[in-house]
Structure 1
């Protein structure tokens, strides 16, 4: 059952500030009625609500594990919001995104993590690699690190490309036990010296109860796959996928260790 007392705050978008065109889904910086700026992720963008689901699951699991993630909020977009937008592409996106969207607190002044400039401490690198193997997050590469330095701390952003199995749900039970082959491209893999130790620690933290708490955050209206009888059935499928993956984490840890050894 979805959590009627959702731990994520809900805000109303009041001002579209500027698009972030480097993202394929064209997120934007927007202001909300609480006076803060957010990076707004639109339900009407290319991957739709599936990317928003991945953002919630990835971001909130990372937070449980003690990693830094900007605050996530649910963001309401009013039907009248985009009527005065002169850019036709943006106007179409706003019209397609009326209703509940997702936003991340905007980290003003943050600097993109550059692996050629800064080396991450080995334990932290191992924690992030483990997380991304769990989530099958393909989008933490040298080309696009999706990490920011803000107030001298490393923050993780953009988990929308995670859990790519849910774009088709084909053989998803089997995929839960597969290694994450794309870990070979992970920007932090060379520094991930403590994967075994992190695995032992993180497996004990991520209990089925905590996974369920994360999944209960997802709004029912985003859980509308035709192959499931209800939003709750889809939520249960996510739970089974994640809990199975955690229980079999030795598989993706071994793949990561092998990929690390293969780095010349």
Structure 2
């Protein structure tokens, strides 16, 4: 009998450790356009759509950075199937009741990242009311890995995520069941893991994107990279600094989906245009 196909539904949320919780929540609400859905003394849940949370901030006395990646599964029975598969791979799996979600399992990936698979994200019932512009989706996270192919084997063969494209010897774009070009990006040469390079939020149209960008400009907040278009997903957007843990957030529109079951991933050269098709193909000043 062929092995049953398993694939996560989407990136559900990311948990971050921050050293200054008050400053972090101010920045994530003022600039990233998220709304507080739940707050305790040491933990703040932030949402974009009607999901209870996309980003969770934890106060830490230690080092700031990523604490957990969480993916929603397609159906509750997938947790049992994933548990069996992970256990067969020698991965230690623990069960959890979930935090504002249904049941969940947790485990470590080959780089030591804590990963959660969960069911039933809590729904707030109404869209956020406080942010000026609401992002329409939490798209993806980009993390550094020590061994690109070993990590690809884990997220592809074991967790079932599908390769969309890659930049040779550097980056692999992985999609989930929601078909967005990528829900997770694993990258070599970005630094030592654990390292969250950035998270990405999607907006409905160019006016919303420009309003968010203008908010950074009006408040003298720096960009990591200004307007660009990616050749992989086709998305247009910008990367902004000023948001602690991670230090960079991508805001974009027009992020493509892959609906063709016979999609063939592209292996892209490490060239100037591999991240931005608007760049000249060569350095014109050289």
- TM above 0.5, yes or no, is no
Of structures 1 and 2, the one with the larger relative CO (CA 8 A, separation 6+) is 1
Q: Whose helix fraction is larger, Structure 1's or Structure 2's?
A: 1
Q: Whose strand fraction is larger, Structure 1's or Structure 2's?
A: 2
